[in-house]
Amino acid sequence: MESCPSVKNILLLDSEGLRVAVKYYTDDWPTNSSKEAFEKSVFTKTQKTNARTESEITMFENNIIIYKFAQDLHFFVTGGDEENELIISTVLQGFFDAVGLLLRGNVDKKEALENLDLILLCLDEIVDGGIILETDANVIAGKVASHSVDSGAPLSEQTISQALATAREHLTRSLLNV
């Protein structure tokens, strides 16, 4: 029986190996201390590599880890040793590119922490319960942006579709109140 491709975790760590945003989808690391130990081990194993222009791959504790660095952020996606590396790499690239779009190209720790809500929503749009839902960065960023739309924001700061949705919502409210 074939199963859907899945990932075990997605990690976003800073340049010192500390958490910025992480999401675990399996019980392979049952305690918070075991998760932090795994993160530190992965960071230590990969920190001397140059994964800035292209993604790199490594095997670690019977897991496939695909990773990429941007300024002071380290992106990791972990899959089981039986998973397809290309699929895991596509998940990483989708996450990396979506974060770049959402942070408007300013992919660094400060900007990531200021927009942590968008990054966490991004993780939720990519993977649910370990099952890969979406890998296209434009679709992911679009869904995250639509979740984070402030309907109270001025129309000039909204996209056309967001403005139309806001107008539709106001019209519906006014018709229901009459």
Q: What is the pLDDT of residues 137-166, one digit of tens each?
A: 888 888 887 766 554 555 455 566 666 677
25-50 residue pLDDT tens: 988 888 999 999 999 999 999 888 87
User: Which DSSP state fits 6?
Assistant: B
pTM, rounded to two decimals: 0.77
3-state DSSP assignment of residue 158: coil
Q: Is the pLDDT of residue 56 over 80?
A: yes
Please count the CA atoms within 13 angstroms of the CA of 43 that sit on its side-chain side. Answer: 20
Considering only residues 126 and 50, tell me which one the structure prediction assigns the higher pLDDT: 126
Averaged pLDDT for residues 72-76? 91
pLDDT band at 168 (very low <50, low <70, confident <90, very high): confident
Identify the residue whose tokens are 């942590």: 116
**97-122 average pLDDT score:** 85
How far is 95 from 77, CA to CA, in rounded Å?
A: 9
β strands within the chain, DSSP E:
9-14, 19-24, 56-60, 63-70, 73-80, 127-128, 131-132
Taking residues 89-113, what's their average pLDDT? 87
Rounded to 5 degrees, φ, ψ at 106 are: -90, 70
pLDDT band at 1 (very low <50, low <70, confident <90, very high): very low
